[in-house]
């Protein structure tokens, strides 16, 4: 029963991280689309929209890594540590 509760809590935490990433991605796409439109309407000879796009994109990339890439390494460590602590008790 305790194992099921731990799995449920881990799945709930993972779902929250996924929701956070996808909302971050959607807001990135929406805001940057408006920035491109505003830039092309106001000053089409000078493209400035790519600076906020690159900066925010860098943050989005690290959010992606935290959710999809680094999560796998952390999950294994967490499972091993939980097993080690349970074996001690």
Domain boundaries, the chain: 2-88
89 residues of the chain, pLDDT tens digit each: 667 787 788 888 889 999 999 999 999 999 999 999 999 999 999 999 999 999 999 999 999 998 888 776 666 666 677 777 777 76
Measured CA angle at 30 (ends 71, 49), to 5 deg: 100
pTM of the full structure: 0.76
* CA pair distance 52, 58, nearest whole angstrom: 10
């Amino acid at each position: 029963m305790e194992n099921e509760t731990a799995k449920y809590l881990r799945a709930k935490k993972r779902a929250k991280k996924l929701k956070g990433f996808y909302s971050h991605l959607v807001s990135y796409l929406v805001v940057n689309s408006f920035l491109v439109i505003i830039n092309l309407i106001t000053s089409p000879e000078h493209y400035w929209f790519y600076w906020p796009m690159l900066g925010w994109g860098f943050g989005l990339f690290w959010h992606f890594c935290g959710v999809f890439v680094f999560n796998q390494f952390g999950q294994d460590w967490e499972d091993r540590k939980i097993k080690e602590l349970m074996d001690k008790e």
